[in-house]
Amino acid sequence: MRNVMMHLREDLSAGFLSMKMEDFRKKSSARYLSLMNQNVALVEENYFKNGCSIFEGFVSMAIAAILLVYLNPILALVSIALMSIPSLIPQLFGRKLKAGQTAIVETTGAYNVSIKDLFQGFEVIKGYHVEKEMQADHKSFLGGMEKKKAGFQKIMSVVYCFANASGVAVQFLVITIAGMLAVRGYLTLGSIIALTQLTGQVITPVFQMSAKFSLLRSTKPLQDEMEQIVKISQKIEDSKEVQLEKELQLQGISYSYAEGEPVLSGIDLLFESGKHYAIVGKSGSGKSTLLQIVGGYLQKQGGELLVDGREGEIPSSIMMQQNVFLFDKTLKENLCLYRPFDEAQIQRALDQAGLTDTVAALPEGMETCVKENGSRFSGGEKQRIALARAILHGEELLLMDEATSALDKRTAGQIEQQLSQCKNLTLISVTHRLDPAILEKYDEVIVLDHGQVVEKGAYRELLARKGALQELVQEEEDAPLPQ
């Protein structure tokens, strides 16, 4: 049993890791946690353990039935015929039990999401003094979950009552028939006692199994969900990621979310190897979506993405997100991510990311534990760590999504300067900074508006046109300074 559950959890984790990014984002991480813990525990208890118990009951029943046939074939046939009554119980309550189990899973998932929000949003809750409101929310989710559990237990109680009642009724009928046979002289008193005991050994497991089988069948929705996730890892194809050698070309790329509103339409761009590109535009113009399509996080819905002229491949790259995630491990482990880098390589990455002084000030240096999601470090320090990680892993294509947004202007400029010196690096960076000192370092600035490329070219060239980029720069200059 232990090995079976280990393999199930391993298969599920493999399935999660094989999911496409856009599919993974459809559900909250709290719901995935609920599946790995709560749902797996339900399947273990109600399916596997119940299955073993049903098998044991079947073996016990079979042995007793053989002995019963040997003693009195007629009574044995009557007992077996009457056993069909308890076996109807799973059919009567199967649909309600499945619905009840599904309701428990859904409400438990919602409850786990509320707990996750409570812990991750603790500072916001305290800062805005909404403890009572959060407690009320928690009580509501908890009440909903417990209500569904109680409803499921009521159905199971009815199932057990029917199973026990039908079992007693069947046993009473068999004893009555045996008594009638004894009165007519077909059975002795000793035979009646033996037959009664054997009949109980046949019938009791049947009504027990009928209740357990109902519980077993109720796990079908959970099994279906797990099977879908496990199949993802079984269907995963060999990686189509390839190194970018000459150019990455986008022709007529389009994308829209489930609501149907187009985010990108008719995107035609050419990214040459070794050059640096900045993507700018207003909020909601599609900058991050475009970057995620280039990185393979999202699947384009129209057009072609050509890597060195080849369709159907994804350029090997590293994506630096706006929100940096750090594992609850040491700083060195967060930088290396299971790759064997030597000290010189690590130090070079720290220098380029401006982290050397920060690491030197840590009592344990690179062996310092960053704590949950890097809570030991400030937002700017976390982004430097993410940058050092990207530099260390050394992919030739680096995608940056507002990667320096939490840094001050001076530090961001230093990092941009370091990146501009990496001649073999192809850089595509989404940025909201319209600092001339930074944008002038890019070979091309791409301006997006409402999901379309409205301008592209060198920074000074675009300013001279007095078009979309000039408008963005003017809006930034006219924006009121924070008080």
Higher pLDDT, 139 or 210: 139
Report yes or no on 275 lying in a domain: yes
Report yes or no on 57 lying in a domain: yes
Q: Among 33-42, 164-173, 310-319, where is mean pLDDT lowest?
A: 164-173
C-alpha 308/C-alpha 315 separation (Å) is 9
**Cα–chain-centroid distance for residue 34?**
10
User: What value does the mean pLDDT take over residues 238-263?
Assistant: 80
**What is the pLDDT at residue 447?**
94
Would you say 35 and 225 are in contact if contact means Cβ atoms under 8 Å apart?
A: yes
Burial of 151 (0-12, 13-18, 19+ CB in 10 A): middle
Q: Are residues 156 and 72 in the same domain?
A: yes
Phi, psi of 195 (to 5 degrees): -65, -40
- Range of 110-114, 325-329, 457-461 with top mean pLDDT: 457-461
Q: Are residues 298 and 178 in the same domain?
A: no
Q: DSSP for 397-463, please give it.
A: EEEEESTTTTS-HHHHHHHHHHHHT-TT-EEEEE-----HHHHTTSSEEEEEETTEEEEEE-HHHHH
Would you say 429 and 295 are in contact if contact means Cβ atoms under 8 Å apart?
A: no
pLDDT digits (tens, 9 = 90+) for 392-419: 887 788 898 887 776 777 777 777 777 7
**Which of 210, 233, 256 marks a domain boundary?**
233
| CATH classification of the domain holding 385 | 3.40.50.300
Average pLDDT across the chain, whole number: 82
Residue 454 has pLDDT above 80, yes or no: yes
Q: Which two tokens stand for residue 43?
A: 């399947």
User: What value does the mean pLDDT take over residues 348-376?
Assistant: 86
Tell me the HSE value of 98 on the side-chain side, using a 13 A CA sphere: 12
Report yes or no on 36 lying in a domain: yes
Report yes or no on 483 lying in a domain: no
User: What value does the mean pLDDT take over residues 166-195?
Assistant: 76
Q: Are residues 330 and 390 in the same domain?
A: yes
Q: Among 364-368, 379-383, 450-454, where is mean pLDDT lowest?
A: 379-383
Residue 303 has pLDDT above 80, yes or no: yes
Q: Which of 267, 322, 256, 261 is nearest to 294 (CA)?
A: 267
**Which of 213, 233, 253 marks a domain boundary?**
233
Q: Among 120-124, 339-343, 475-479, where is mean pLDDT lowest?
A: 475-479
Report yes or no on 460 lying in a domain: yes
Q: Are residues 167 and 248 in the same domain?
A: no
**What is the pLDDT at residue 483?**
46
Report yes or no on 294 lying in a domain: yes
Q: Are residues 130 and 223 in the same domain?
A: yes
Q: DSSP for 289-339, please give it.
A: HHHHHHTTSS--SEEEEEETTEES-EE--EEE-SS----SSBHHHHHHTT-
**What is the pLDDT at residue 290?**
92
User: What value does the mean pLDDT take over residues 413-439?
Assistant: 81
**What is the pLDDT at residue 337?**
87
Q: Which of 153, 144, 140, 48 is nearest to 96 (CA)?
A: 153
Residue 446 has pLDDT above 90, yes or no: yes
**What is the pLDDT at residue 221?**
82
Report yes or no on 208 lying in a domain: yes
Q: Are residues 146 and 24 in the same domain?
A: yes
C-alpha 401/C-alpha 149 separation (Å) is 44
Higher pLDDT, 386 or 190: 386
| CATH classification of the domain holding 206 | 1.20.1560.10
**Which of 200, 233, 266 marks a domain boundary?**
233
Q: Are residues 7 and 154 in the same domain?
A: yes
Would you say 439 and 446 are in contact if contact means Cβ atoms under 8 Å apart?
A: no
How much of the chain exceeds pLDDT 90, in percent?
Answer: 11
pLDDT digits (tens, 9 = 90+) for 52-97: 888 888 888 888 888 878 877 877 777 777 766 666 766 677 788 8
Report yes or no on 141 lying in a domain: yes
Q: Are residues 256 and 161 in the same domain?
A: no
User: What value does the mean pLDDT take over residues 312-318?
Assistant: 82
- Range of 46-50, 260-264, 288-292, 387-391 with top mean pLDDT: 288-292
Model confidence at 259, pLDDT cuts 50, 70, 90, reads: low
**What is the pLDDT at residue 238?**
46
C-alpha 301/C-alpha 218 separation (Å) is 38
Q: Are residues 219 and 278 in the same domain?
A: no
For residue 416, what are the domain limits? Answer: 242-478
Would you say 222 and 106 are in contact if contact means Cβ atoms under 8 Å apart?
A: no
Q: Are residues 397 and 306 in the same domain?
A: yes
Question: What amino acid occupies position 455?
Answer: E
Q: Are residues 201 and 251 in the same domain?
A: no
User: What value does the mean pLDDT take over residues 210-223?
Assistant: 79
Q: Are residues 164 and 253 in the same domain?
A: no
**Cα–chain-centroid distance for residue 88?**
38
How many domains in the chain?
A: 2
